[in-house]
Structure 1
């Protein structure tokens, strides 16, 4: 009987705990205190208010949790608080960037802006569009992808499936070095070749520099995706007498095609916003040039740079720069959506 009564008693192993709404209450109190401190201290920057609120939130969470739940649980809560603060520090600038770009870019962004070039429109005059820059970016990034993506994927396949010894280590070392190469260095390399052969600026030269920047990103992302493929799949295919090259083509690549596609798209997004190589090698052109192998050509990053450079005394150029920036962001977002669609479409189907 005494044992039955003891089983019905509440367990004393677990102490008091804060309610689920306590983090929100602590966050609200931290924001109020941060605003008060900012107003009293004469701090005009809202960034400073936010940092003060973050510090108060972490300190307040630890202090209240240690009093109610004990120091051990307080340490867990303060770790969670740091995670939320880091998340907000990453999200707030991103949301702010998108908000500013959208609010300023929609002023002149319309069908006319997307389907016309600058032509004879001066930078200080309203009107004109970015059709010539869109064509240039699509051609330059497309050619860079055609060059850089296959080379990067084949290099990753060699490193994961065949690479052994000093050659593989050397390739890995140079890929790591190329990952950190500034874009201006790739542009200068292609420019030196152009000067040797006495060539004039043209779009394909920019594509070569962009391909150099793209290849190490593709190699690294593809290499990691190939390493995630279970060795059991390779061994099962080889045990059936399938050659290694066919195993890679029919088993390894289809299994990792989603991650490889995502990595390629991320590499495209990486080079789509590069300005320095295009400025050195392509020079820009206010008119439409559909031939990337002859003559100067425009691109979206270069157009943004040139318009902002001319925006000191011209609000029209300033508005065009923001509208082109919004278009470039939309272009990168579309690439990511396409990558997700291809990854889902090509993902291995598992039967129920």
Structure 2
């Protein structure tokens, strides 16, 4: 077949592929636009209603506890309770997750136990949070016969640990082998290479993983319904039911009282902006800088 006869066929194939390519790009842009439109709609509604709730309450929102229906109040006890439980779970999950990530990166290639740990971690990352709440309820709350802030922290810790483990494992695998071989050539033991060389090289990414885990558990509601429950009063006793923002938002948003719904919108705005600030912090201040 001559080149003059082949060229039209090539052009037809090219035009067909170009048409399919443009059609796929158009569908992708359309899907992205629809998703962004709904997201902006949600954020705009939250911003409008949340600001109204915050403006109407002012500093009362942060200095007064949750009220009875029809009376003025704030979210002090819920904010403090959330900070205590999330803070405790972060203090527990971060070192456990980092150490487990180091173990997987160092021994995960050939060790069967490490491979099983990585598999279980991947499953836990996608496990519904309500299942974790029921698990902690059955093993802890049902045994001690009362809800508590400690139970809530345990549930949040179980959710946060897999995030830290997977992030640490993935970041440590990015370290070049030449850097590790140079450290071994200087006579450094393996534990020093893992902690002082390999971990230090990706510390920004590990810190980012810890912040992302913190953002992941900050707005969890389902596990806290089965563990910490709620408390109308201000309390620092973590061995008793403890107020927290997600459960208060869930309770107040479904109530028929306008003042409670205003508090729910204000609390939702606080949680959203807290998570947003954590994500911005993890992507800017602690982002891994690439040398020029």
When normalised by structure 1's length, the TM-score is 0.73
1:35-85 CA distances to partner (integer Å, 9 max, x unpaired)? xxxxxxxxxxxxxxxxxxxxxxxxxxxxxxx99x94443333333323322
* Alignment counterpart, residue 156 of structure 1, candidates 101, 105, 110: 101
Q: 1:80 and 1:196, CA in 2 relative to 1: closer, same or farther beyond 3 A?
A: closer
Partner of 1:272: 218
* Alignment counterpart, residue 210 of structure 1, candidates 147, 153, 156: 156
* Alignment counterpart, residue 333 of structure 1, candidates 276, 279, 283: 276
Partner of 1:257: 203
Aligned counterparts of 1:316 and 1:298: Cα–Cα separation in 2 = 18
Q: 1:73 and 1:178, CA in 2 relative to 1: closer, same or farther beyond 3 A?
A: closer
Partner of 2:5: none
Contact in 2 for aligned 1:183/1:277 (Cα 8 Å): yes
- Correspondences of 1:69-218 after superposition (within 5 Å): 70-109=15-54, 110-118=58-66, 121-122=67-68, 124-163=69-108, 164-195=110-141, 197-218=143-164
Indicate whether 1:316 and 2:256 are aligned: no
Aligned counterparts of 2:22 and 2:279: Cα–Cα separation in 1 = 35
> Which structure has the larger Rg over C-alpha atoms?
1
Q: Which of 130-139 and 253-262 deviates more?
A: 253-262
Q: Which runs of 5+ in 1 are unaligned?
A: 1-65
CA shift, 1:295, in A, is 1.9
C-alpha RMSD of the superposition = 2.3
Q: 1:103 and 1:236, CA in 2 relative to 1: closer, same or farther beyond 3 A?
A: same
Q: 1:285 and 1:349, CA in 2 relative to 1: closer, same or farther beyond 3 A?
A: same
Contact in 1 for aligned 2:235/2:242 (Cα 8 Å): yes
1:145-176 CA distances to partner (integer Å, 9 max, x unpaired)? 11112111111111111233321122122212
Aligned counterparts of 2:221 and 2:126: Cα–Cα separation in 1 = 17
3-state SS of the aligned residue for 2:202?
helix
When normalised by structure 2's length, the TM-score is 0.86
Contact in 2 for aligned 1:126/1:317 (Cα 8 Å): no
CA shift, 1:108, in A, is 1.8
Aligned counterparts of 2:197 and 2:128: Cα–Cα separation in 1 = 36
Q: How many residues align?
A: 277
